[in-house]
Structure 1
Amino acid sequence: MTRLENEKFLEQLKTLFQNNRVKGTVVLTMKRYDGRTKPIPQKDTSLPLPKEHMCLIRAYCSGAKKRKISTVIHQKEVNKFQIAYCSLLKTNMDGLKKKKKVKKTKA
């Protein structure tokens, strides 16, 4: 998995959406990230809390070209990233298929 800077991540995410417009899926996950690369031991609960909370965003596609990318957003940069991220999603989510409603008949 490739960890990118925020601007590079948005550029790569845009290309993932464009490459998978006709066929394929792009999956996005977001989670809280404290900067640790190793799991917390269960026995030791006296670890200090992180100074700054961060957000880890991962994206992967399952189309013809399988790719995984990720980025870490610091607390100070959340507003700037969120505005750019929302505009990217709005421009690339126009090809979604609508679900057909199934009408139930009374017996």
Structure 2
Amino acid sequence: VVLLESKQFLAELTRLFQECRLSGSVFLTLKKYDGRTKPIPRKVSVEGFEPSDNKCLLRATDGKKKISTVVSSKEVNKFQMAYSNLLRANMDGLKKRDKKSKSKKSKAAQ
């Protein structure tokens, strides 16, 4: 996994979307990140560890290439705006849902 700065991550994510436009998928994950690099043992509790600020860990992969970034709470608004614009620009290749099949299933269930 390659850890990048937020601007580099967005540039690489754009490149990843372009490579997978015709065939393939891009998987995105987002989770809270407290800065730890090692897991906590279950039997021993670490009471002295206090994260300085809340962070988000974003990961993206196409199955072959993995990229990730850590966004701090101070820059999350700026990053979120750029990230949402990137997603809107690259979500145009999604398949339309067939609304008829959904209504037939709901009638059959009643």
Normalising by structure 1, we get a TM-score of 0.89
Q: Distance in 2 between matches of 1:84 and 1:45?
A: 36
| Matching residue's letter, 1:12 | E
Q: Distance in 2 between matches of 1:87 and 1:28?
A: 15
Deviates more, 1:95-104 or 1:83-92: 95-104
Structure 2: tracts of 5 or more residues without a match: none
Structure 1: tracts of 5 or more residues without a match: none
Match of 2:75, SS? Answer: helix
Sequence identity, in percent? 53
Partner of 2:75: 77
Q: CA deviation at 1:87?
A: 0.4
Partner of 2:5: 5
When the two chains are superposed, the root-mean-square deviation of aligned CA atoms in Å is: 1.4
- Aligned ranges 1:94-105 → 2 under 5 Å: 94-101=92-99, 102=101, 103-104=104-105
Structure 1 runs of 4+ with >4 Å offset: none
Partner of 1:33: 33
Normalising by structure 2, we get a TM-score of 0.87
Partner of 1:88: 86
Number of aligned residue pairs: 103
Q: CA deviation at 1:27?
A: 0.4
